[in-house]
Structures are given as structure tokens and as C-alpha cells.
């Protein structure tokens, strides 16, 4: 079973940053896609490569998604320890793509408010199990627990507060965001 056709690409700008560089003018509602080197990042990319093959394989380079919630570079991200707030400077020593979306100031404010409201939620381990089962069985059944988040699901749900929508928001992988916003990893 192949991927459905790619959706029409929204107007966005994507800037890739290498170690030592940070986005100089972050905006609420934008997001980062990062490429981690931990074993969990490798496992995420392994799962993404089950879905993303051939010409779509470069989208599976990314293993983490991070919501930007302020012009000062404040971020919100879902990690194994839960949903946490931080600053974009945390990613200054990694490879990442900064995705600047198209949104109105009120939409950006609503997206940031949503993401900040998720801080303190638990990590969505059950959603990860759901994604894994879906990848292994080519199924569309998704499940999770209310009040939990995974990184890319958090970003997808934040973007829904603007003008973007997803089929399975909690079960979105970083590669799904990369494909939708046409942000393949380096070749």
C-alpha cells in the first residue's frame, strides 16, 4: 500500500540550519524539524522509513518536531519526560529545519496559546504504540490517551489552530510534517 498523493503545498519558507546557527526571527506558530542522534531518534527514523520510501525517503531524515511559541524563541516540545517549555537556542548545536508557516497574527497567537497549554502533559507512549502498529499492519486505526502528546502530534494539533488540518493529528510523525511542508532532509 503506497502513500496517498501529497497534499497541495502550503506557502511556507523552510531554512536549514547547521550546528552553531539559530533562526534570527522566530514567530509563534512556526516549528522546527530536528535530526537527533540518540537511539530513540534512530528508532523513529526506522519507523518513518517503513512508510517513506523511494522519492519520499528524504522526509524520514527528521526525528523530532518542536513548536515555536514566541518571537523571543520560546519553544514547546514533547519529550519522553513530558511536554516542556524551553528556548530555540537549545537546538543551536544540531541540524534542524525552521518552517515558517503562513498565518495571521491572531492565528499565531491562538497556536502559541494552545501549545503553551500543553506544557505539563505526559508523553504519548500509547500514541507511539498506535503508530508502530499502524506501520506494521498498514492499518489506519489510531489511538492514544487524552492529555498526552508526542512531538509531531503536538505540532500538528497546534497548526490546526491556524489554517492547517491533518487526518490523524495525534499520530503524525515528523516525516509527515516534513512531507506536507516540503522539507526533506539533506541529501
Residue 23 contacts by C-beta under 8 Å, 6 or more apart in sequence?
15, 17, 32, 73, 88, 98
If you write DSSP's letter for every residue of 16-46 in order, what string do you get? EE-TT---SS--TT-EEEE---SHHHHHHHH
Provide the pLDDT for residue 46: 84
Which residues does the chain have with pLDDT short of 70?
Answer: 1-11, 167-170, 187
pLDDT score, position 4: 56
H or E segment to which residue 13 belongs: strand 13-17
Cell of 27: 514567530
Domains and CATH numbers, the chain: 13-180 (3.90.1720.10)
Grid coordinates of 166: 491533518
Amino acid at each position: 500500500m503506497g502513500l496517498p498523493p501529497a497534499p497541495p503545498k502550503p506557502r511556507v519558507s523552510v531554512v536549514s540550519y547547521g550546528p552553531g546557527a539559530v533562526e534570527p526571527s522566530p514567530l509563534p506558530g512556526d516549528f522546527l524539524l530536528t535530526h537527533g542522534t540518540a537511539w530513540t531518534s534512530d528508532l523513529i527514523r526506522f519507523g518513518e522509513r517503513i512508510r517513506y520510501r523511494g522519492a519520499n525517503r528524504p522526509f524520514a531524515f527528521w526525528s523530532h518536531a518542536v513548536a515555536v511559541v514566541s518571537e523571543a524563541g520560546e519553544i514547546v516540545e514533547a519529550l519522553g519526560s513530558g511536554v516542556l517549555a524551553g528556548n530555540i537556542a537549545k537546538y543551536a548545536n544540531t541540524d534542524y529545519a525552521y518552517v515558517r508557516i503562513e498565518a495571521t497574527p491572531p492565528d499565531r497567537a491562538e497556536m502559541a496559546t494552545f501549545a503553551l497549554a500543553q506544557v505539563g502533559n505526559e508523553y504519548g507512549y500509547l500514541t507511539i504504540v498506535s503508530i508502530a502498529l499502524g506501520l506494521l499492519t498498514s492499518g489506519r486505526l489510531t489511538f492514544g490517551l487524552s492529555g498526552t502528546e508526542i512531538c509531531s502530534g503536538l505540532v500538528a494539533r497546534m497548526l490546526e489552530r491556524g489554517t492547517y488540518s491533518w487526518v490523524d493529528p495525534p499520530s503524525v510523525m515528523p516525516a509527515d510534517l516534513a512531507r506536507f511542508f516540503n522539507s526533506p532532509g539533506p541529501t
